[in-house]
Structure 1
Amino acid sequence: MKNFITSCILLLISIIFSYNTSAQDSVSIYNKNKVFDPSFMSQDATEFRSANGAPGPKYWQNSANYIIHSTLDEKDTTLNGDVTINYTNNSPGELKYLWLQLDQNLFNPDSRGSAATLVSGDRFDVKGYTKGGYQIQSASVLYKGKTYKIEPVITDTRMQLRLPFSVKPNGDKINITVNYFFSIPQYGADRMGRLYTKNGVIYQLAQWYPRMCVYDAVEGWNTLPYMGLGEFYCEYGNFDYYVTVPADMIVAGSGDLQNPQQVLTAKEVSRLNEARRSDSTVTIIKEDEIGSASMRPVKSGLLTWHFKMQNSRDVSWTASKAFIWDAARINFPSGRKGISMAVYPVESKGYNAYGRSTQYLKQSIEFYSKDYFEYPWNSAVVVAGVALGMEYPSIVFCSYKIGKANLWHDVTHEIGHNWFPMIVGSNERRFMWMDEGMNTFINGYASNSFNHGEYGDTTNRSILGMARTLQRSKDALMTPPESISLNDYGQYYFKTATGLNILRNSVIGADRFDYAFKTYIHRWAFKHPQPNDFFRTMNDAAGDDLNWFWKEWFCETWKLDQAVKEVKYADNNAANGALITLENLQEMVMPVTVKVTEKNGNTQEIKLPVEIWQRGGEWTFKYNSTTAVTSIVLDPHGELPDIDRKNNDWKSSE
């Protein structure tokens, strides 16, 4: 016990001493050759991807157009459907087999995702549903006018169709038809499912048809299984889909409704037309009209809702007889108009809940369209249901329980995903930061903009919080989502957003960053970028070699610790200037802002570029003092995630 107490006293003394003195006794682990690494991202450009980060002159991607028919069977809670996919092979190679995604197979109790779910469960839990997964009834292809029945080879969430011929390169086409059904899980890994409410079940349908895997010039067929956390990578194409449901249900879906006269009443159509002219919210179905026979065009049987969506990578939909339905006009920068909608149960009504969700959606879309890239579709809808928060093209699922600021942040985040990855089509299965992080970054600006900052930016964690994250994180941002610790996957969102804000505000400046960031969006809209395409575009359009930043922030788990080592005076006279020595003690580097205060009261901030660390972990610069320096503070505005801020301060002992 005595030795323990003695040790504690010595430790306390050392802490006090280290707080009140300089960092000169700290041992630096900085290695300039690891940070400023000439081998990082040194691969030559290809015909498919240019050195400046743009698509190359021979960039290609395949396309998939879908025609889907589905019927919701409430009695058995199943969805029966058939999908025909017109697939175009734009690659320079022939295809002897095709791969499709069967994401509903995640809910088969024998799936890999189920086996890899923690025994304690988690947000993306897929255990406990005993009858999940696709039942594939038949698969066939139509090629050169001849139909072939194909026996599918199904492995977990993937299906291979082995062809008795090859699909030729450079634009050859093939039609694939699959008949299927599946039982709708109640809780679909926080992506879809069923919510039981006072006035009926809310069905959120996603991953509801077999989809083509992406075939690209980087991986060939992208066949990573769907495991729950990692999301999706899909080809672009046009969607023509039909949803048949009981006649008392309302359906909202991705894209544009093609047959409103058949599935809506004249009153509903009139109110929708009014909403298309109104910036204020118009209610299409009111609370006291839910379940009313007068609000449905037929009193019994089934109705088929027909939707179309152009140049999308996916579609989803919702159906219920429990919906309140609101709508308002969207105003796009080009002068085009669209419609923002919300559907939700009475449990979610009210000004402090979903009563404002149409406006949250509308104003988010208008902001992102103005500042980044105009929303390419005509409609969007937010759905209150069982999913906490999930995004699909032009439709987002949010929890029915939330309201006020939480609802705003959820709506603006989920619809923000229509830019990343619905417009900029990155691979979510491999690089989660490219959608979650970039989206979280732009969400912060949307939150500050909404209603004069009513809710403000809470998406970007404090720098202090990020420093803690850097301290404990064991996985880099480039870690695939199925490999990252479930305690760390939040860094995909917040570490990415914080890094981009640091790059924008502390490294290259807002003007150059914004120009480069928008260049990336426009270059890769409706295409499939890789991380290096983003890095190279930012380097090229902003005009800086930022490879040091990309490596340390995205590829490593390094930490930042800047320190003041010592202060001396030229010729031992403060009037001749102060020689200030700084240290970089950890692996990460950043530019340095130094606030110097003199005895005469003069205060000045000096900004030093990151290049001071290119020759090593110690840097001395001359400050033109006229009197003694009384204090020095590094990063005085708290812009950097320094893990040990006490050695950022230096005070004169005199």
Structure 2
Amino acid sequence: MIKKCGFLALALAVSMSSLAQQREENVNQRKFEQLDQELRSPNVYRTASGAPGHQYWQQQADYDIDVRIDDETQRLYGKETITYHNNSPDNLYYLWVQLDQNMRAADSDTYSSETSSIEDRMTIGSLRKIIGYDFDGGFKIEHVVDMQGAKLAYTINKTMMRIDLPQPLKAGEKMSFKIDWWYNINDRGILSDRGGYEFFPEDGNYLYTIAQWFPRMAVYSDFQGWQHKQFLGSGEFALPFGNYKVRITVPSDHIVASTGVLQNPQEVLTKEQQQRFEQAKTAKKPVIIVTQKEAEKKEKTKAKDTKTWVYHADSVRDFAFGSSRKYIWDAMGVDIAGKTVMAMSYYPKEANPLYEQYSTEAVAHTLRVYSRFTIDYPYPVAISVEASNGMEYPMICFNYGRPEKDGTYSDRIKYGMISVIIHEVGHNFFPMIINSDERQWTWMDEGLNTFTQFLAEQEWQRDYPSSRGPAHKIVPYMKSAKDTQRPIMTNSEQVLQFGNNAYGKPATALNILRETVMGRELFDFAFKTYAQRWAFKHPTPEDFFRTMEDASGVDLDWFWKGWFYTNDHVDIALAGVRYLQLNTKDPQVEAALRQELAQRNANHIARTRNQQAVPKTAVESNPSLKDFYNNYNEFAVSKQDKDAYDAYRKSLSAEERATLDASWHFYELQLENRGGLVMPVIVQWQFEDGSSEVQYLPAEIWRYNENKVTKAFAKKKKVKTIVLDPFRETADTDEANNYWPEYNQPSRFELYKQQQGARGASSGGNPMQRSRSNRGN
């Protein structure tokens, strides 16, 4: 029904609507209150703008390490000298060192705190968790001494070791000490872990990915003191920056991929390999340094002597390496801000042809895209190592991506491999350089990195099948049971649904900030500012939140509160729509509308049936019963009506007459926030003439009432349909209530013939296999 209203009455209704909403069911949950009470107070170390303060400081730890891998026993032996720089204003009476390998000790809290249950059907992996592992894991500390060889007292508390100092390490001073250790390297196929070895029974060789392999200094910071929270497996690492000199001794036919720059290529590489490496620096596509044929030859011979590879790395927070005689190695130079960075890949033959075709190209692509959105990549190398897993370290990462034995692969494997390479190489930026504390805030490295990964994926290929980033992909998680969720701002070891919470939800939130809340220009400037401010430093969530607001001029406290501190979800409903027009006061126009309405109201079912059931009414049978009103036309326009209208028109201003003549169509939308998470409202108007319009209403529309708002709109064309969030920008969990008129998308079901097959077995191969088979026929 079209409703008409007087000009003044409509104006009053619109102007008073916000005040009425404040009184109507307004349960204020303080969604637009500032975050001040949740954040640490600014100080001389960290400013209110989110930048490092004028007295910001951080510690430094330098390492000089000798490490040897015993390929017969799968054991690692190490000796290190740590030089610790106390740049803090505090005197330190003891130092804390991380012993991450101890999570694999028999009495580890990782095992004892892990929950388990017995099901009707159990995998061997699930049973191992109950039975336990027959593996002597963990660091074996031989000794801890000062530079004169005197023993230093130390106490091992599970995955942490406290070294008690004979005298305080004063502010501004440094000290050096030595640790000798060894440990048994775990089989990654049994003890799934970030590092370890993989055994290839076909050729009897090992591929080592060595990580968390040396006692490492814990972080001592201005905002928490020592970060010595135990390592249980999920929360990763907080580490200080430093310079590394590492000598890696392995079988002489092994190739070593490592953090840092190789110092002795003439001792460990053939002349031909050295020439290939030089050629790769200026090549337009990857150059193979160690060929598959060379690697296959070494798989059969297996040298018994050793070589030592020497690597140096400056300003890194960690160090990792891989070693195997199975490695194929390719490389190419990438120009980053005028400097050549070597993008490189190491992989066994089992990863070809995928790795040879895509890996190094994906590394180079990642460096280019991330450098544009954050900082120019500062290190001399970036390495992807195929190791059937996914984990990151400075300059090097371990990834998966193996085709079938016939060389074919599914699109899932292809894009999964490219995505994991982008993701793990991207971790060089978050958190290897922009060095957040992963032990506390996993989202600060995984979430920010997953978001930037999405940007890189979309620049790799149009319509790239990104698994995270677009708002609609997080909807199933957002609308799942609240007791299976945790807020993003939850400690890493207490997070439920780790992938959704630490990767997907924060990445989606940042994408919504960029595309819908802030816009790309403001977001990109603020995001880059954060990266530039905190490169080679230790940022906290406060620093990120404050920088994003400081550099953009956008108040985002409501956004951080909703997305990062609660389990609320987005469900904005179009609860009602009223369509109104101005009363023109033109007697001819208004009379015609009244007559149309009267005729429509008079046409009821009884009247229709009485046309035949009642041949004549009483008045029709007896004309004497008629009077004035039987011939009166209540819709006729009189001279007095016309004169009154002319007088009314003259009383209006020119602006009022123009508004009256514009034939506006007014729509009053009743919006409800049913999910609890306040968000901008995106309205798409589709008009009867086929055109459309999109309007963005900022989240502040909810500031007076967080649950219900009414908003009136004036349109020059008649509206056919109204849709909220038409481009699926906000992760709305119930799109069915986003339409006017109501629209129901039908679901589909399938009639199928029941088939029997092995549980979990794939069927039909992959499209590449089927294509080859068809060509053969």
For normalisation by structure 2, the TM-score amounts to 0.75
Looking at structure 1, the residues matched to 668 and 116 of structure 2 have their Cα atoms a distance apart, in angstroms, of 59
The 8 Å contact of residues 75 and 185 in structure 2, kept in 1 or not, is answered as yes
SS at 1:109 equivalent: coil
The answer to whether structure 1 residue 180 and structure 2 residue 177 are counterparts is: no
Instruction: Give the match for residue 347 of structure 1.
Output: 350
- From 516, 535, 540, give the equivalent of 1:525: 535
Instruction: Give the match for residue 643 of structure 1.
Output: 733
1:140–1:645 CA distance, 2 compared to 1 (3 A): same
- From 466, 484, 490, give the equivalent of 1:458: 466
The letter of the residue matching 2:485 is K
The letter of the residue matching 1:595 is Q
1:266–1:456 CA distance, 2 compared to 1 (3 A): same
Deviations 1:208-227 (A, max 9, x none): 11000000011111001111
Trace 1:161-560 onto structure 2 (pairs within 5 A): 161-169=163-171, 171-187=172-188, 189-197=192-200, 198-199=202-203, 200-290=205-295, 292=297, 301-332=305-336, 334-350=337-353, 352-386=354-388, 388-399=389-400, 401=402, 403-450=413-460, 452-453=461-462, 456-460=464-468, 462-472=470-480, 473-485=484-496, 487-560=497-570
Looking at structure 2, the residues matched to 507 and 293 of structure 1 have their Cα atoms a distance apart, in angstroms, of 56
For normalisation by structure 1, the TM-score amounts to 0.89
Looking at structure 1, the residues matched to 352 and 718 of structure 2 have their Cα atoms a distance apart, in angstroms, of 65
Looking at structure 2, the residues matched to 240 and 295 of structure 1 have their Cα atoms a distance apart, in angstroms, of 32
Deviations 1:537-556 (A, max 9, x none): 00110101100000110111
Looking at structure 2, the residues matched to 75 and 128 of structure 1 have their Cα atoms a distance apart, in angstroms, of 21
The letter of the residue matching 1:98 is L
1:509–1:622 CA distance, 2 compared to 1 (3 A): same
Looking at structure 1, the residues matched to 438 and 359 of structure 2 have their Cα atoms a distance apart, in angstroms, of 27
Deviations 1:138-180 (A, max 9, x none): 00234xxx654113200111001111211101x2101121000
Instruction: Give the match for residue 11 of structure 1.
Output: none
After TM superposition, the structure 1 stretch with the greater mean CA deviation from structure 2, 181-190 or 570-579, is 570-579
Looking at structure 2, the residues matched to 628 and 349 of structure 1 have their Cα atoms a distance apart, in angstroms, of 60
Deviations 1:263-285 (A, max 9, x none): 11111111111111212111112
1:119–1:317 CA distance, 2 compared to 1 (3 A): same
Looking at structure 1, the residues matched to 736 and 252 of structure 2 have their Cα atoms a distance apart, in angstroms, of 67
The letter of the residue matching 1:399 is Y
After TM superposition, the structure 1 stretch with the greater mean CA deviation from structure 2, 427-436 or 182-191, is 182-191
SS at 1:37 equivalent: coil
1:76 Cα offset (Å): 1.6
SS at 2:715 equivalent: coil
SS at 1:420 equivalent: helix
Structure having the larger proportion of residues in strand: 1
RMSD of equivalent CA atoms: 2.6
1:400 Cα offset (Å): 5.2
Looking at structure 1, the residues matched to 703 and 282 of structure 2 have their Cα atoms a distance apart, in angstroms, of 59
The letter of the residue matching 1:466 is I
1:581 Cα offset (Å): 2.4
SS at 2:289 equivalent: strand
SS at 2:94 equivalent: strand
After TM superposition, the structure 1 stretch with the greater mean CA deviation from structure 2, 227-236 or 520-529, is 227-236
Deviations 1:270-313 (A, max 9, x none): 111111121211111212212657999x9652111100001000
The 8 Å contact of residues 281 and 359 in structure 1, kept in 2 or not, is answered as yes
SS at 1:624 equivalent: strand
The 8 Å contact of residues 29 and 586 in structure 1, kept in 2 or not, is answered as no
Deviations 1:574-619 (A, max 9, x none): 8462222222223111111112234555533222111110000322
The 8 Å contact of residues 481 and 489 in structure 1, kept in 2 or not, is answered as no
The 8 Å contact of residues 78 and 183 in structure 1, kept in 2 or not, is answered as yes
Looking at structure 1, the residues matched to 732 and 508 of structure 2 have their Cα atoms a distance apart, in angstroms, of 13
The letter of the residue matching 2:111 is S
1:626–1:377 CA distance, 2 compared to 1 (3 A): closer
Identity of aligned residues (%): 36
- From 28, 33, 39, give the equivalent of 1:37: 33
5+ unaligned residues in a row in structure 2: which ranges?
A: 1-23, 118-124, 404-412, 584-662, 744-777
1:135–1:272 CA distance, 2 compared to 1 (3 A): same
Deviations 1:415-459 (A, max 9, x none): 000000001000111101111111110111111212x43x71514
Instruction: Give the match for residue 10 of structure 1.
Output: none
Looking at structure 2, the residues matched to 629 and 554 of structure 1 have their Cα atoms a distance apart, in angstroms, of 37
The 8 Å contact of residues 512 and 729 in structure 2, kept in 1 or not, is answered as yes
SS at 1:587 equivalent: coil
The letter of the residue matching 1:394 is M
The letter of the residue matching 1:335 is G
1:527–1:461 CA distance, 2 compared to 1 (3 A): closer
1:571 Cα offset (Å): 6.5
The 8 Å contact of residues 104 and 133 in structure 1, kept in 2 or not, is answered as yes
Instruction: Give the match for residue 577 of structure 1.
Output: 666
1:468–1:300 CA distance, 2 compared to 1 (3 A): closer
Instruction: Give the match for residue 752 of structure 2.
Output: none
Looking at structure 2, the residues matched to 439 and 125 of structure 1 have their Cα atoms a distance apart, in angstroms, of 31
After TM superposition, the structure 1 stretch with the greater mean CA deviation from structure 2, 542-551 or 322-331, is 322-331
5+ unaligned residues in a row in structure 1: which ranges?
A: 1-27
Looking at structure 2, the residues matched to 55 and 456 of structure 1 have their Cα atoms a distance apart, in angstroms, of 37
Structure having the larger proportion of residues in helix: 2
1:529 Cα offset (Å): 0.5
Looking at structure 2, the residues matched to 110 and 546 of structure 1 have their Cα atoms a distance apart, in angstroms, of 45
Which of the pair has more CA radius of gyration?
Answer: 2
The answer to whether structure 1 residue 74 and structure 2 residue 71 are counterparts is: yes
Instruction: Give the match for residue 103 of structure 1.
Output: 100
1:294–1:225 CA distance, 2 compared to 1 (3 A): closer
Deviations 1:308-338 (A, max 9, x none): 0010000101111111111111221x21112
1:88 Cα offset (Å): 0.6
1:43–1:156 CA distance, 2 compared to 1 (3 A): closer
The 8 Å contact of residues 53 and 536 in structure 1, kept in 2 or not, is answered as yes
Instruction: Give the match for residue 12 of structure 1.
Output: none
Deviations 1:490-519 (A, max 9, x none): 331111111101000000100000000000
Instruction: Give the match for residue 22 of structure 1.
Output: none
The 8 Å contact of residues 214 and 222 in structure 1, kept in 2 or not, is answered as yes
1:512–1:30 CA distance, 2 compared to 1 (3 A): farther
1:447–1:150 CA distance, 2 compared to 1 (3 A): same
Looking at structure 2, the residues matched to 632 and 400 of structure 1 have their Cα atoms a distance apart, in angstroms, of 45
Looking at structure 1, the residues matched to 371 and 472 of structure 2 have their Cα atoms a distance apart, in angstroms, of 32
1:195 Cα offset (Å): 1.1
After TM superposition, the structure 1 stretch with the greater mean CA deviation from structure 2, 577-586 or 76-85, is 577-586
Deviations 1:100-120 (A, max 9, x none): 000011111211112123436
The 8 Å contact of residues 440 and 459 in structure 1, kept in 2 or not, is answered as no
1:358–1:518 CA distance, 2 compared to 1 (3 A): same
